[in-house]
Amino acid sequence: MKVNERKQAEAAGDSHVGQVRTNNEDRFAVIRLDCGGEPGVLGLVADGVGGHAAGEVASQTVVDEITSLLRSDPAANPVRILPQAAIRAGHAVYERAGKDPALRGMATTLAAALLVGRRLYTVTVGDSRIYLRRGGRTFQASIDHTWVQEAIEHGLLTREQARFHPNAHVLRRHLGGEQDAQPDQRLRLSEEEDPQEAEHQGMVLEDGDAVVLCTDGLSDLVKEDDIGHALRHRRLDRSISELVQLARQRGGHDNITVVVMRFPETGRRAGGLWWLALGLSIPVVAAIAAALYFLVAGLLR
């Protein structure tokens, strides 16, 4: 497991082949950046598709291209550079497939989040997701690019019907095709928000907020409440291990990849512990004072 320890934002990620597959076509990255004097953390996950080893080649190519571009120009405007990086990565996948017949048709999804200081910037292509944990609630902040998501938006399916629909994983966008896929920067701040109107790039995260990136090997089997419950741990590696294990226990039919980026509630917890200690000390001191009073009174008789 890779862990990125940062004074402001903490981030970690892990990937598992699952219980059915023999090959892991998912890839992820968590890297530190100096974004023009602001501390930055980039997290991304990619779920490759294709025959033989092509899927993992596609996802690794995307991870390499995006991390390389962000490292070369970390102070660039995140709203512009993230979609540019996604498109450039898609070109790299398509060009590589064109040079090797064994890689023809390979493609990949992408979910990426960049924290610059406390500001969040995102981009997605496909059905790898971004969840946001805020105010005790966990919800999907990104929008899937799938056949069933379009059916939901047109009122043809409910979310519950879409969850078990046979076309649930028919992608409408992916990286690696001949035509550029449109990177999506819509970001919802609540479960009720209209996905067509949600654009909140650069939103400020607060203490206790968490961003979770994952491939469908997790999101198919683990619900929002499960994610929120796993984030109760102070250590991110424990939270991620719990999520991966939960997906495995529920079938693990696909590769499972998770990245979590979080601002811990250090201030609130410290304050809470101080008040707890004070609350406990008052009755203890009172009891000791009473015991001493009666002891002294008894000696003076």
What's the half-sphere exposure (Cβ side, CA atoms, 13 Å) at 86?
30
Q: Which tokens sit at 236?
A: 């991110």
| Entry pTM | 0.85
**Mean per-residue pLDDT of the chain:** 87
CB atoms within 10 A of CB 201: 16
- What CA–CA distance (Å, rounded) separates 111 from 130? 7
The two three-digit tokens of residue 274, written as one number: 């101080």
What does the pLDDT profile of the chain (301 residues) look like in tens digits? 655 444 579 999 999 999 999 999 999 999 999 999 999 999 999 999 986 679 999 999 999 999 999 999 999 999 999 999 999 999 999 999 999 999 999 999 999 999 999 999 999 999 999 999 999 999 999 999 998 787 877 788 877 777 778 777 789 999 999 999 999 999 999 888 877 777 899 999 999 999 999 999 999 999 999 999 999 999 999 999 999 999 999 999 999 999 999 998 865 443 344 333 444 444 544 555 555 544 445 544 4
Reply yes or no on domain 2-264 having CATH 3.60.40.10.
yes
The pLDDT tens digits of the residues spanning 208-266 come to 999 999 999 999 999 999 999 999 999 999 999 999 999 999 999 999 999 999 998 86
DSSP-assigned letters across all residues of 159-215: HHHHHT-TTTT-BS--BSSSSPP--B----SSTTS-TTT---TTEEP-TT-EEEEE-
- 261-288 pLDDT tens trace: 999 886 544 334 433 344 444 454 455 5
Q: What is the pLDDT of residue 267?
A: 54
